[in-house]
Amino acid sequence: MRYSIFLFSVGAYCMAVVMFTTFLRLITGRPPTDSGVVFVRDVSVVRKTRAPRNRRTERLILISWPLILAKSWLVIWAIEKYHVPIAANWIIVPTVVFAALCTGLYFLRE
């Protein structure tokens, strides 16, 4: 109940300020400002060309995939050697999925 009264009083205060400034502008004869009025003068459509591929990024992706495969093999080896009671897929699958997502987004970008 108190919150709604507070919102009503804030809204009434804001309306009073707007009405008072409008009244002062009417009395002084100043023209209204154009700060809130925007008109569209021209619209043009430009087809964007595909950005050129970055060789450095492609090289990084090319280096990263063998590293991901090596990490996957290392995780499987470590889990079997040290008898860790988790499935290796809990580590490998998110890594491969996110790497594939990043690779796909890079090569299929527009």
pLDDT in tens, 55-74: 999 999 999 999 999 999 99
Task: Report whether pLDDT(101) > 70.
Answer: yes
**Type of residue found at 53:** R
Provide DSSP, 38-51. Answer: ---------PPPPP
Record the pTM.
Answer: 0.55
Compute the mean pLDDT over every residue in the chain, rounded to the nearest whole number: 83
Mean pLDDT of 32-43: 68
Residue 78 CA to its chain's centroid (Å): 37
47 phi/psi in degrees, rounded to 5: -75, 125
Give Cα separations from 61 to 53, 65, 67, 92, 106 (angstroms): 12, 6, 10, 17, 10
**Type of residue found at 31:** P
Please give the pLDDT value at position 33: 65
5 DSSP assignment: H
